[in-house]
């Protein structure tokens, strides 16, 4: 009888469920794709039900349900930290106690009730061990150093592991409150963006600046001998304040923070702005560049220590900081590892996969299976159902059958911006050609049009290029060690000098791009689309951004896609075999 393991991550952000059958991933999806609440943190009941429905099982068929962290250890950290920082923590303490004593502390019972399994089938894996397992067991490497860097788990904020076959052994860790992830989030808040949402915006903003606040950043985050680091906690308050990440001293050091929503007009994007507006924006750009540079230096410091300590040629990497594509490119280009493998869902959602893989391999002792080469493990809709939905909505559409990729490429070559929903949705935060908005990458004005007319987001934010694998080296500088991460859009390298003019919409202001390399084996329909576009234009590259509007999760169903379509400036919508035109 098959062994089904359901992995669960929840109750902080990006909750998700993953189902394994005899160690093979059969389904995985984030709860936000059902609830339509971005970064939904609730128990992923709908996601779990969808996973089980997809393979035709019920909760009675589950062998194990595995949660991605240990709540009692996390509660220990919160309680002891509150006591250690009293009386400053007086406002945070009752808030924490209400959350934990009311719900989180009794998680085993809640899991049993939510997912319909007895307590004997529930397992708990440590947070960073879940991250480590998500990176190592999904990789092709039998021996590797494993690095996990995020905000915080139970106690660990950074951890190093040694992966061998089916076992993961701890090597070292850095503990709360010292955290690279929380450092970056504090700067994110200082720059006027939402934590756990705006970190990508800081990376985009950093390209407009210079790291002239290096001395200030060195005060905040210090690299130490032995591969560690520490923060000067006088500048931060996440360990005692209920809502704020930074103390007033941070503003004394870095200057006043940016008010959310304030126009951003640095010198490289300053058309029509006054000199005072430019000066203020440039300071924020330079702060972003300085924080990014400090993060990159810290990551290289950790990676070099990992190589020296573990002594393998492969690095497996996960945790929220592993989504920093600019730092990842430097790790691959300048770091000592020949191979770097990063979990596509490197944040908390990926913990659901790691917890399930840990149970299958490390607990049950089963051998390794195939590496994760595809991310389309999520929700899908049969064509017959899509047709019914389109008919019910009175949509204007045509069934173009298996020619959808070619027809979409023809529309892109004609200058149209399209919504592209094909097959199962992606695992993780990156749109990889299954739930994407696509456009012609050649003209800079396309970037501005998609930002303003379609995505309704900040104009300084860049878009990613997707390129067929056969042509990747023609257009982009991709480090050899980044071959695997580049398939999942997890590195941001240079656009080659001769290609920048022909890729104006996807080349960032600093000459880089967060490229996705698309191969025919793992993404056949998307590869066909890009190849056909290349036949039309001579450039086998398309502009790719996630299919969602500002503040919303990526679309999951045909209804989601239609809702985004009619509320945006998209010209056309493709849902699998259907080409949908705008309503009259």
CA geometry: angle 329, 332, 337, nearest 5 deg = 165
Q: Which contacts qualify for 359-364: CB closer than 8 Å, 24 or more apart?
A: 359/5, 359/7, 359/64, 359/66, 359/123, 359/125, 360/3, 360/5, 360/20, 360/23, 360/137, 361/23, 361/133, 361/137, 361/166, 361/167, 362/133, 362/166, 362/167, 362/168, 363/123, 364/3
Is 388 among the domain residues?
Answer: yes
Last residue of a domain, one of 297, 330, 363: 363
Task: Verify that 34 and 102 share a domain, yes or no.
Answer: yes
The pLDDT assigned to 340 comes to: 98
Domain identity same for 225 and 200: yes
Both 244 and 296 in one domain: the answer is yes
**Residue 368 included in any domain:** no
Domain boundary among 309, 328, 363: 363
Q: What are phi and psi of 119, to 5 degrees?
A: -60, -30
Asked if residue 208 and residue 313 are part of one domain, the reply reads yes
Residues 122 and 214 in one domain: no
464 inside domain: yes
Task: Identify the segments of the chain with pLDDT beneath 70.
Answer: 101-102
How confident is the model at residue 437, as a pLDDT? 98
The CA-CA-CA angle for residues 15, 142, 377, to 5°, reads 35
Residue 551 shares a structural domain with residue 405: yes
Q: How far apart are CA 196 and CA 84, in angstroms?
A: 26
Residue 487 maps to a domain:
yes
Q: What pLDDT digit, counting tens, does each position of 255-313 carry?
A: 999 999 999 989 887 777 788 889 999 999 999 999 999 999 999 999 999 999 999 99
CATH of the domain at 55: 3.30.420.40
**Do 184 and 40 fall within a single domain?**
no
Q: Is position 8 within any domain?
A: yes
Residues 298, 394 within the same domain: no
**Residue 163 lies inside a defined structural domain of this protein:** no
Domain of 95 in residue numbering reads as 4-138+344-363
Pair 117, 227 in one domain = no
145 located within any domain: no
Answer yes or no: is 539 within a domain: yes
What is the number of structural domains in the chain? 3
CATH number for the domain harbouring residue 503 = 3.90.870.20
Let me know whether 35 and 24 are in one domain: yes
Each residue's pLDDT tens digit, 216-255:
999 999 999 989 999 999 999 999 998 899 999 999 999 9
In terms of domains, do 484 and 408 share one? yes
Residues 409 and 506 in one domain: yes
């Amino acid at each position: 009888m098959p062994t089904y393991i359901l992995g669960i991550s929840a109750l902080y952000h990006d909750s998700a469920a993953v189902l394994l059958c005899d160690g093979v991933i059969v389904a995985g999806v984030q709860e936000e794709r059902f609830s339509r609440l971005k970064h939904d943190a609730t128990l992923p009941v709908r996601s779990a039900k969808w996973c089980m429905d997809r393979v035709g099982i019920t909760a009675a068929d589950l062998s194990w349900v595995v949660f991605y962290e240990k709540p009692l250890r996390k509660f220990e950290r919160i309680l002891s930290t509150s006591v250690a920082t009293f009386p400053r923590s007086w406002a945070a303490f009752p808030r924490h106690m209400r959350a934990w004593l009311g719900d989180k502390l009794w998680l085993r019972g809640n899991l049993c009730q939510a997912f319909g399994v007895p307590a004997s089938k529930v397992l708990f894996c440590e947070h960073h061990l879940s991250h480590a397992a998500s990176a190592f067991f999904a990789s092709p490497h039998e021996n590797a150093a494993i690095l996990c860097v995020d905000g915080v788990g139970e106690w660990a904020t950074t951890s190093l592991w040694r992966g061998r076959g089916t076992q993961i052994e701890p090597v070292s860790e850095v503990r709360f409150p010292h955290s690279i992830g929380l450092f970056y989030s504090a700067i994110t808040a200082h720059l006027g963006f939402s934590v756990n949402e705006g970190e990508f915006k800081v990376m985009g903003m950093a390209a407009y600046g210079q790291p002239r606040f290096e001395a200030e950043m060195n005060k905040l985050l210090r690299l130490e001998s032995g591969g560690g680091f520490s923060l000067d906690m006088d500048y931060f308050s996440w360990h005692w304040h209920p809502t704020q990440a930074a103390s007033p001293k941070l503003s004394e050091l870095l200057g006043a923070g940016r008010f959310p929503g304030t126009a951003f007009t640095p010198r490289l994007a300053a058309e029509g702005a006054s000199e005072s507006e430019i000066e203020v924006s440039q300071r924020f750009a330079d702060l972003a560049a300085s924080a990014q540079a400090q993060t990159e230096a810290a990551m290289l410091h950790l990676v070099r220590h990992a190589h020296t300590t573990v002594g393998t040629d492969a690095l497996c990497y996960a945790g929220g900081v592993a989504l920093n594509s600019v730092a990842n490119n430097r790790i691959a280009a300048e770091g000592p590892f020949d191979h770097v493998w990063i979990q596509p869902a490197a944040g908390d959602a990926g913990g659901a996969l790691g917890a399930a893989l840990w149970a299958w391999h490390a607990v049950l002792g089963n051998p390794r299976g195939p590496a994760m080469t595809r991310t389309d493990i999520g929700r899908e809709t049969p064509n017959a159902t899509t047709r019914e939905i389109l008919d019910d909505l009175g949509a204007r559409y045509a069934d173009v059958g298996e020619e959808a990729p070619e027809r979409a490429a023809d529309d892109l070559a004609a200058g149209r911006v399209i919504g592209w929903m094909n097959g199962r949705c992606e695992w993780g935060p990156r749109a990889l050609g299954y739930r994407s908005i696509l456009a012609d990458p050649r003209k800079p004005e396309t970037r501005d049009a998609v930002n303003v007319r379609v995505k309704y987001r900040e104009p300084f934010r860049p878009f990613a290029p997707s390129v067929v694998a056969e042509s990747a080296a023609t257009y982009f500088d991709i480090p050899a060690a980044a071959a695997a991460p580049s398939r999942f859009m997890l590195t941001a390298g240079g656009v080659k000098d001769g290609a920048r003019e022909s890729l104006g919409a996807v080349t960032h202001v600093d000459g880089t791009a967060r490229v996705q390399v698309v191969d025919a084996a793992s993404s056949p329909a998307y590869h066909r689309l890009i190849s056909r576009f290349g036949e039309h234009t001579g450039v086998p590259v398309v502009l790719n951004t996630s299919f969602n509007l500002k503040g919303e999760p990526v679309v999951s169903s045909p209804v989601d896609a239609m809702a985004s379509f009619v509320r945006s400036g998209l010209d056309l919508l493709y849902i699998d075999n259907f080409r949908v035109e705008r309503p009259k």
